[in-house]
Structure 1
Amino acid sequence: MCGIVGLFLKSPGLQAELGRLSADMLGIMSDRGPDSAGFAVYGTAAGDTTKLTLRIPEDVDASAMAAALGVTAVRRGDHAVVTVPRDAEGALRQALATRYPAVNIVSAGARIELYKGVGLPDAVSSRYGLPGMAGTHAIGHTRMATESAVTTHGAHPFSTGPDQCLVHNGSLSNHNALRRNLRREGLEFETENDSEVAAGYLTWRMRQGASLGEALEAAVGDLDGFYTFVVGTERGFGVLRDPIACKPAVMAETEDYVAFGSEYRALVPLPGIEQARLFEPAPGQVYFWEHAA
């Protein structure tokens, strides 16, 4: 079943509240998926740098690892965020693969931080400090595992490109064929989850020069099944439902924000929701909002 939330802030005055509002929305969706949860927050970029969010196994000392690699790691539960100059990202990835192969790179980009784990949304949000996070936009997901094991590895969001991530409610029927084709294009996948394939598809399209909106438009013809996608990029936030739109979805827009929820009750904690323009995203139609560069 699964539950999705998303919040794109137009007003800078709400940025300090992004994490708290997103955590409240995600917690309300608990009964749509109590197995695992995750979220991605887009904060402030620090010059010409890249942030890597890492998931650290229990048998790896994060502080010792950071010291050995010559980096500073900000620890949040079993995740840590490492910020390096953009031209040093490749060397760090190689060092991690060689010296710490059990450490998983969950996301990378100028602004994205991504966290996920097994448990109820409120517990996952608290574990990684979501209520205290600030930023411009965030997406979250609570999962009911129907096609794969209940693991952190299989939890959403999935990130397959810089500052890009996706959450998904539904099921794709052609994900195995797509995965084979995308691997031939150089993409790598860590799970058998169809949602990771959807994320990889969008990454592939965007590598070819498509905007997120254009990639989502192409997805309508290339992805078979039933789905609702909420996608984040460095500056943008997109929503797409399949042409049948059999999964529930509702959106709200005010002068201060755009919000998405699998159900209206997820939107209730938002300020000014009583005056918001409420609508159900239309089948097969791309919705996209973006901040100026």
Structure 2
Amino acid sequence: MRTRSVPLLAAALVLTGCSIANPTSSEVSLQYGAGMFDSRKFVECETERDVSDVNDDHYYYPSGQRDFTFGDGDGIDSAPLTSTTQDSQEIKVTGTVKFTLNTDCAPFTDPTGKEWPGGKLQMFHELIAYKYDAAPTDGGEQMNAGWTALLRNYVGAALDRATDNEALKYPWQKLYTDAPAKAQWERDVLAQLPRVLNTLTQGVDLITINSVLLQKPGIQPQLVQGLTDKQAAELRSQAAEVDKQAAANFPGGIPGYQAYQQQQAVNEAIKSGKVQVLPVPQGSPVIVSPTK
């Protein structure tokens, strides 16, 4: 008998004119009337299994935390962003934003005076997500391709503005080499991002930003080379200063130190096989000649 239960249930639903909303534990479903004799209107929010009119539509949205990733490689939501620093240098910005969709279904009135019986989730669906065909119409499915485009045009666009605004406070080298400065830039972006995002959603917090993780910014190749050259010059300067101090304290002063350095160079050349020692009578100076 159990093998017939599913077909029998399906047949019963067809005969009685019913459909089933079946959101998972991490989803909220919006039901809209779409029957032959129904107007196209919101019915209710659903967080658990529910039977409704066979012609009604259901749209499923995530109720848990999600990621918006931007950078290089496969499986990324957006290409890297670019920002300009205080000293007019362009940097590449990559990282991750963790966010939560506001699935509050409590009735409310938005700043324009429009009433939403299905709360902020209904507002998000009708004003934004429906235009992108972002939500699947079956529970437990992946978000539609339009979801990624939606994230780029809202979370990504707001993030681009926030990183631009905050990068202007720092010279590029601070963000590239100074960990505390880079961490402060990250915190500043996190503080500004929700405000910028709300300007795109009529001032209503339809998307909650939980955290922002920014990777070390990418810089122009010539800046990398310049930084490398600067570090090399600093190392050479430090080495020269060490040599100067060593020579001043060496027995015999600078001439003694130079003779010592020359002898060390000869010893290293002999060890490496670059010169050979020629046999001489006892008591004569050692004679070396380059190897061929």
Which of the pair has more CA radius of gyration? 2
Greater share of helix residues, 1 or 2? 2
Greater share of strand residues, 1 or 2? 1
Higher RCO, 1 vs 2 (CA within 8 Å, ≥6 residues apart): 1
TM-score by length of 1: 0.22
TM-score by length of 2: 0.22
